[in-house]
Amino acid sequence: MDSRLTTIMNFVPKGSRVADIGTDHGYLAIELIKKNIAKFVIASDKNSKPLAAAQKNIKEAGVENSVDLRLGDGLKALKAGEVDVICIAGMGGALMCDILNTSLEIVATVDKIILQPMNVSERVRQWAVDNHFYIEDEDLAEVDDIIYEIIYLSRTFNELQSTRKANSPLYNKFIKTKINKLQKVVDSMTKSETAKTSDKYTEIENQIIELKAKLNENTNRTDCM
Ligand SMILES: C[S@@+](CC[C@H](N)C(=O)[O-])C[C@H]1O[C@@H](n2cnc3c(N)ncnc32)[C@H](O)[C@@H]1O
Protein backbone atom coordinates (compact mmCIF):
# COMPACT_ATOMS: atom_id res chain seq x y z
CA MET A 1 0.00 0.00 0.00
CA ASP A 2 1.40 3.43 -0.89
CA SER A 3 1.73 6.45 1.39
CA ARG A 4 -1.45 8.03 -0.03
CA LEU A 5 -3.58 5.13 1.19
CA THR A 6 -1.60 4.86 4.44
CA THR A 7 -2.23 8.54 5.15
CA ILE A 8 -5.96 8.01 4.56
CA MET A 9 -5.91 4.94 6.81
CA ASN A 10 -4.22 6.90 9.61
CA PHE A 11 -7.30 9.09 9.93
CA VAL A 12 -9.73 6.18 10.48
CA PRO A 13 -10.70 5.95 14.16
CA LYS A 14 -9.94 2.52 15.66
CA GLY A 15 -12.88 0.17 15.91
CA SER A 16 -15.02 2.05 13.40
CA ARG A 17 -17.31 0.67 10.74
CA VAL A 18 -16.03 2.02 7.45
CA ALA A 19 -17.36 2.44 3.91
CA ASP A 20 -14.72 2.58 1.17
CA ILE A 21 -16.61 4.07 -1.77
CA GLY A 22 -14.92 3.47 -5.13
CA THR A 23 -12.73 0.77 -3.61
CA ASP A 24 -11.20 -0.35 -6.95
CA HIS A 25 -8.43 -2.82 -5.92
CA GLY A 26 -9.73 -2.98 -2.33
CA TYR A 27 -6.31 -2.18 -0.81
CA LEU A 28 -7.62 0.35 1.71
CA ALA A 29 -10.34 -2.05 2.92
CA ILE A 30 -7.81 -4.88 3.23
CA GLU A 31 -5.29 -2.84 5.26
CA LEU A 32 -7.99 -1.43 7.53
CA ILE A 33 -8.87 -4.97 8.55
CA LYS A 34 -5.34 -6.39 8.58
CA LYS A 35 -4.12 -3.54 10.80
CA ASN A 36 -7.11 -4.05 13.09
CA ILE A 37 -8.27 -0.46 12.60
CA ALA A 38 -11.77 -1.04 11.23
CA LYS A 39 -14.30 -3.39 12.79
CA PHE A 40 -15.56 -4.11 9.30
CA VAL A 41 -15.56 -2.44 5.90
CA ILE A 42 -18.20 -2.10 3.23
CA ALA A 43 -16.16 -1.79 0.03
CA SER A 44 -18.19 -0.66 -2.93
CA ASP A 45 -17.61 0.26 -6.53
CA LYS A 46 -19.80 1.40 -9.39
CA ASN A 47 -18.07 -0.91 -11.85
CA SER A 48 -17.96 -4.69 -11.77
CA LYS A 49 -14.39 -5.03 -13.12
CA PRO A 50 -12.68 -3.23 -10.23
CA LEU A 51 -15.03 -4.99 -7.81
CA ALA A 52 -13.91 -8.37 -9.18
CA ALA A 53 -10.26 -7.31 -8.67
CA ALA A 54 -11.10 -6.24 -5.12
CA GLN A 55 -12.81 -9.58 -4.48
CA LYS A 56 -9.70 -11.48 -5.61
CA ASN A 57 -7.37 -9.33 -3.46
CA ILE A 58 -9.64 -9.53 -0.43
CA LYS A 59 -9.82 -13.32 -0.67
CA GLU A 60 -6.04 -13.60 -1.11
CA ALA A 61 -5.55 -11.41 1.97
CA GLY A 62 -7.93 -13.66 3.92
CA VAL A 63 -10.14 -10.80 5.11
CA GLU A 64 -13.33 -11.73 3.25
CA ASN A 65 -15.27 -12.24 6.51
CA SER A 66 -14.73 -8.60 7.47
CA VAL A 67 -15.21 -6.91 4.10
CA ASP A 68 -18.62 -6.69 2.50
CA LEU A 69 -18.23 -6.06 -1.24
CA ARG A 70 -21.04 -4.24 -2.98
CA LEU A 71 -21.70 -3.11 -6.51
CA GLY A 72 -23.30 0.33 -6.42
CA ASP A 73 -23.25 3.98 -7.32
CA GLY A 74 -21.79 6.11 -4.53
CA LEU A 75 -23.51 5.97 -1.17
CA LYS A 76 -26.51 4.21 -2.68
CA ALA A 77 -24.60 1.03 -1.88
CA LEU A 78 -25.16 1.77 1.84
CA LYS A 79 -28.12 1.66 4.19
CA ALA A 80 -28.56 4.37 6.82
CA GLY A 81 -26.63 3.63 10.02
CA GLU A 82 -24.42 0.84 8.62
CA VAL A 83 -21.11 2.74 8.98
CA ASP A 84 -19.50 5.46 11.12
CA VAL A 85 -16.92 6.62 8.59
CA ILE A 86 -17.06 7.16 4.83
CA CYS A 87 -13.83 7.18 2.80
CA ILE A 88 -13.84 8.39 -0.79
CA ALA A 89 -10.41 8.51 -2.42
CA GLY A 90 -8.89 8.91 -5.84
CA MET A 91 -11.80 10.66 -7.57
CA GLY A 92 -12.36 14.23 -8.68
CA GLY A 93 -13.64 16.65 -6.04
CA ALA A 94 -16.79 17.46 -8.06
CA LEU A 95 -17.73 13.77 -8.31
CA MET A 96 -17.19 13.39 -4.57
CA CYS A 97 -19.56 16.29 -3.89
CA ASP A 98 -22.14 14.74 -6.25
CA ILE A 99 -21.87 11.38 -4.48
CA LEU A 100 -22.35 13.01 -1.08
CA ASN A 101 -25.17 15.33 -2.22
CA THR A 102 -27.09 12.48 -3.84
CA SER A 103 -27.32 10.58 -0.54
CA LEU A 104 -27.59 13.17 2.21
CA GLU A 105 -29.78 10.76 4.20
CA ILE A 106 -26.75 8.42 4.47
CA VAL A 107 -24.35 11.31 5.16
CA ALA A 108 -26.65 12.29 8.05
CA THR A 109 -25.83 8.99 9.80
CA VAL A 110 -22.01 9.21 9.80
CA ASP A 111 -19.61 11.07 12.12
CA LYS A 112 -16.52 11.26 9.95
CA ILE A 113 -15.79 11.55 6.25
CA ILE A 114 -12.30 11.13 4.80
CA LEU A 115 -11.83 12.56 1.33
CA GLN A 116 -8.83 12.48 -0.98
CA PRO A 117 -9.87 14.51 -4.01
CA MET A 118 -7.70 14.39 -7.13
CA ASN A 119 -8.56 18.01 -7.95
CA VAL A 120 -10.70 21.02 -6.91
CA SER A 121 -10.24 20.32 -3.20
CA GLU A 122 -11.78 23.77 -2.57
CA ARG A 123 -15.15 22.32 -3.70
CA VAL A 124 -14.87 19.58 -1.11
CA ARG A 125 -14.08 22.17 1.57
CA GLN A 126 -17.08 24.24 0.54
CA TRP A 127 -19.26 21.10 0.63
CA ALA A 128 -18.13 20.55 4.24
CA VAL A 129 -19.04 24.11 5.25
CA ASP A 130 -22.42 23.90 3.48
CA ASN A 131 -23.23 20.59 5.15
CA HIS A 132 -22.16 21.41 8.72
CA PHE A 133 -19.00 19.33 8.83
CA TYR A 134 -15.76 20.70 10.32
CA ILE A 135 -12.40 20.14 8.68
CA GLU A 136 -10.93 18.45 11.74
CA ASP A 137 -7.56 17.72 10.23
CA GLU A 138 -5.73 17.43 6.93
CA ASP A 139 -2.60 15.81 5.66
CA LEU A 140 -0.49 15.43 2.54
CA ALA A 141 1.03 12.37 0.91
CA GLU A 142 3.46 12.08 -1.96
CA VAL A 143 3.59 9.26 -4.48
CA ASP A 144 5.74 9.44 -7.64
CA ASP A 145 6.31 13.18 -7.21
CA ILE A 146 2.59 13.97 -6.96
CA ILE A 147 1.31 15.45 -3.72
CA TYR A 148 -2.18 14.40 -2.62
CA GLU A 149 -4.43 16.19 -0.13
CA ILE A 150 -6.34 14.18 2.45
CA ILE A 151 -9.17 15.99 4.22
CA TYR A 152 -10.70 14.65 7.44
CA LEU A 153 -14.21 15.91 8.15
CA SER A 154 -15.97 15.60 11.46
CA ARG A 155 -19.41 16.43 12.72
CA THR A 156 -17.96 17.61 16.02
CA PHE A 157 -15.62 20.55 16.41
CA ASN A 158 -12.18 19.69 17.81
CA GLU A 159 -9.82 22.59 17.81
CA LEU A 160 -6.31 21.66 16.68
CA GLN A 161 -3.24 23.80 17.32
CA SER A 162 -1.96 22.85 13.92
CA THR A 163 -2.96 20.29 11.29
CA ARG A 164 -0.88 17.33 10.20
CA LYS A 165 -0.77 19.06 6.83
CA ALA A 166 0.87 22.23 8.19
CA ASN A 167 3.46 20.07 9.98
CA SER A 168 4.07 17.89 6.95
CA PRO A 169 7.53 18.01 5.38
CA LEU A 170 5.61 18.16 2.07
CA TYR A 171 3.78 21.37 2.93
CA ASN A 172 6.19 23.88 1.36
CA LYS A 173 6.55 21.78 -1.80
CA PHE A 174 2.76 21.51 -2.01
CA ILE A 175 2.32 25.29 -1.75
CA LYS A 176 5.12 25.94 -4.26
CA THR A 177 3.49 23.54 -6.76
CA LYS A 178 0.18 25.41 -6.36
CA ILE A 179 1.90 28.78 -6.85
CA ASN A 180 3.66 27.53 -9.99
CA LYS A 181 0.40 26.24 -11.49
CA LEU A 182 -1.40 29.52 -10.80
CA GLN A 183 1.58 31.55 -12.06
CA LYS A 184 1.41 29.69 -15.38
CA VAL A 185 -2.29 30.62 -15.69
CA VAL A 186 -1.51 34.28 -14.89
CA ASP A 187 1.36 34.32 -17.40
CA SER A 188 -0.84 33.03 -20.20
CA MET A 189 -3.63 35.47 -19.26
CA THR A 190 -1.18 38.38 -19.42
CA LYS A 191 -0.97 37.85 -23.20
CA SER A 192 -4.58 38.93 -23.64
CA GLU A 193 -5.67 42.48 -22.74
CA THR A 194 -9.22 41.25 -21.91
CA ALA A 195 -7.99 38.42 -19.71
CA LYS A 196 -5.47 40.72 -18.00
CA THR A 197 -8.18 43.12 -16.90
CA SER A 198 -10.67 40.40 -15.88
CA ASP A 199 -11.86 39.66 -12.31
CA LYS A 200 -10.47 36.13 -12.71
CA TYR A 201 -6.96 37.53 -13.26
CA THR A 202 -7.16 39.61 -10.07
CA GLU A 203 -8.59 36.62 -8.18
CA ILE A 204 -5.71 34.36 -9.23
CA GLU A 205 -3.14 37.06 -8.45
CA ASN A 206 -4.64 37.40 -4.97
CA GLN A 207 -4.50 33.62 -4.52
CA ILE A 208 -0.80 33.69 -5.40
CA ILE A 209 -0.17 36.48 -2.86
CA GLU A 210 -2.01 34.49 -0.17
CA LEU A 211 -0.09 31.31 -0.97
CA LYS A 212 3.25 33.16 -0.88
CA ALA A 213 2.33 34.58 2.53
CA LYS A 214 1.49 31.04 3.75
CA LEU A 215 4.79 29.78 2.43
CA ASN A 216 6.71 32.54 4.22
CA GLU A 217 4.79 31.97 7.43
CA ASN A 218 5.47 28.24 7.34
CA THR A 219 9.13 28.70 6.45
CA ASN A 220 9.59 31.10 9.39
CA ARG A 221 7.69 28.75 11.71
CA THR A 222 9.74 25.69 10.79
CA ASP A 223 13.01 27.70 10.92
CA CYS A 224 12.19 28.49 14.56
CA MET A 225 11.59 24.83 15.45
C1 LIG B 1 -9.09 5.86 -9.41
S2 LIG B 1 -10.02 4.69 -8.59
C3 LIG B 1 -9.59 5.00 -6.90
C4 LIG B 1 -9.51 3.73 -6.13
C5 LIG B 1 -9.22 3.86 -4.65
N6 LIG B 1 -10.30 4.49 -3.95
C7 LIG B 1 -7.94 4.60 -4.41
O8 LIG B 1 -7.99 5.73 -3.96
O9 LIG B 1 -6.87 4.04 -4.70
C10 LIG B 1 -11.68 5.26 -8.66
C11 LIG B 1 -12.69 4.13 -8.48
O12 LIG B 1 -13.95 4.73 -8.21
C13 LIG B 1 -14.96 4.03 -8.89
N14 LIG B 1 -16.09 4.94 -9.03
C15 LIG B 1 -16.22 6.00 -9.86
N16 LIG B 1 -17.40 6.61 -9.68
C17 LIG B 1 -18.04 5.92 -8.69
C18 LIG B 1 -19.29 6.05 -8.05
N19 LIG B 1 -20.15 7.03 -8.39
N20 LIG B 1 -19.61 5.16 -7.10
C21 LIG B 1 -18.77 4.18 -6.75
N22 LIG B 1 -17.57 3.99 -7.32
C23 LIG B 1 -17.19 4.86 -8.28
C24 LIG B 1 -14.29 3.59 -10.18
O25 LIG B 1 -14.93 2.47 -10.76
C26 LIG B 1 -12.87 3.25 -9.70
O27 LIG B 1 -12.74 1.91 -9.34
Q: Convert the pLDDT of each residue in 66-102 to its tens digit.
A: 999 999 999 999 999 999 999 999 999 999 999 999 9
- Which amino acid residue places its CA nearest to atom 13 of ligand 1? 22
* Ligand 1 contacts CB of residue 21 (under 6 A): yes
Confidence (pLDDT) at 159: 77
pLDDT in tens, 107-128: 999 999 999 999 999 999 999 9
Superfamily of domain 3-162: Vaccinia Virus protein VP39 (3.40.50.150)
CA distances from 141 to 11, 145, 206, 222 (A): 13, 10, 26, 19
Sheet holding 134-143, edge to edge: 67-71, 38-45, 16-21, 85-91, 112-117, 146-154, 134-143
CA distances from 221 to 27, 53, 149, 167 (A): 36, 45, 21, 10
Ligand 1 atom, smallest distance to 99 CA: 19
Confidence (pLDDT) at 91: 98
Confidence (pLDDT) at 203: 94
Q: State the average pLDDT over residues 19-23.
A: 98
Higher pLDDT, 222 or 6: 6
Q: What is the distance in A from the centroid of ligand 1 to the CA of 55? A: 15
Q: State the average pLDDT over residues 138-155.
A: 97
The whole-chain average pLDDT of the chain stands at 95
Question: What is the value of pTM for the model shown?
Answer: 0.93
What are the domain boundaries of the chain? Answer: 3-162, 171-223
pLDDT in tens, 157-210: 887 778 899 899 999 999 999 999 999 999 999 999 999 999 999 999 999 999
pLDDT band at 138 (very low <50, low <70, confident <90, very high): very high
Q: What is the distance in A from the centroid of ligand 1 to the CA of 22? A: 3
